[in-house]
Structure 1
Amino acid sequence: MYETPEDMTALQRLLDDSYAGAGCHLRRIAGRGRRLEAAEVVAELDGIKIMALATAGASGDPRVGPVDGHFYRGRFHFGSSPDSVRVRHIGARPAVSATVFDAQWSQITVHGRAVRVSPTDEPALEQYLIELHGRALWDGWLKEVVWVRIEPETMFAFRNSATGNCS
């Protein structure tokens, strides 16, 4: 866990505020017995998780594709090739949505804005990525990808273990 106490407080606030603004349908699906708290989200997202990332094309058309998701300091990060369509989309329209899910058992969805980051300018982030991928990959092609952090506006996290209600 790399989250600071401040990161955990901010993540919990984001989850609570997102849930409070959700409609009845989503609150029924992610009801009290199913919602994940900040500490559970961090535990669920340990390591590298395949994340379905949605970007918007030039006419606003949605495009979804898998990326390696990295949850660090309470934020999703991912990398992509500098010449990828998703990097072009993000450069022009930074609004994104992403979901990490485990079949029908758990789901963590974030909606927010993509911000390019440079791990070499953030030594702790760079070290985290090296720990996950290994020095050889990092010193090879991984160092050359475009790295992105999702600044969340809303986040919903739940586990399918109990019947939800609309409270």
Structure 2
Amino acid sequence: MNTDEQQVQKKSTKGKLTLAMTAGALVGGAFVLVRNPSARTRLKETSGSTKNTVSQYISDVKADPTGAKNQLVDRIQKTASITREAINKIQDILDNEGREITNKVREVKEESKEIVSTAKEAGDELKEVGDKVGEAKDELTESKEEKKQALADGENLSVVKDDEHEIKKTIKTN
């Protein structure tokens, strides 16, 4: 198959699909009208109103074709103007919201950096505290070792305690 035949076949398929959809819509609409009397009444009223509106428009056009054309052109221009205004407003809103979102993202990013920095500082301070605890442990360990050594050397220790303090006094005996 060449491209011309393919295009003809595609158009034929599209035409058949459109025809089938239109026929289905008409059958569905007819079914609703047969089954629902209020739908028939509404359809009659709406189509009568539409017929009157179209008839009035046609007679206005026949009476003053130039005036009808000018009115239609004016209405189209007004509609286009209103549409442009709406699009501009939408664009402004998107631009402003986009800026606000960008600013919020920037703020969150900066706050995140501050949080990370604070966490690092806290980690460093905790490490220092850990080092001090290690020093205190070493000091306690050394004190116990000194006490053991002093006892082994025959020294007497005099210990005075109250609720908060402990005073150690070494008395050497010769």
| TM superposition score category, shorter chain reference | under 0.3
Larger helix share, 1 or 2: 2
Per chain length, whose mean CA-contact separation is higher, i.e. which structure has more relative contact order (CA < 8 Å, sep 6+)?
Answer: 1
Larger strand share, 1 or 2: 1
TM-score, normalization by structure 1: 0.17
Q: Which protein has the larger Cα radius of gyration, Structure 1 or Structure 2?
A: 2
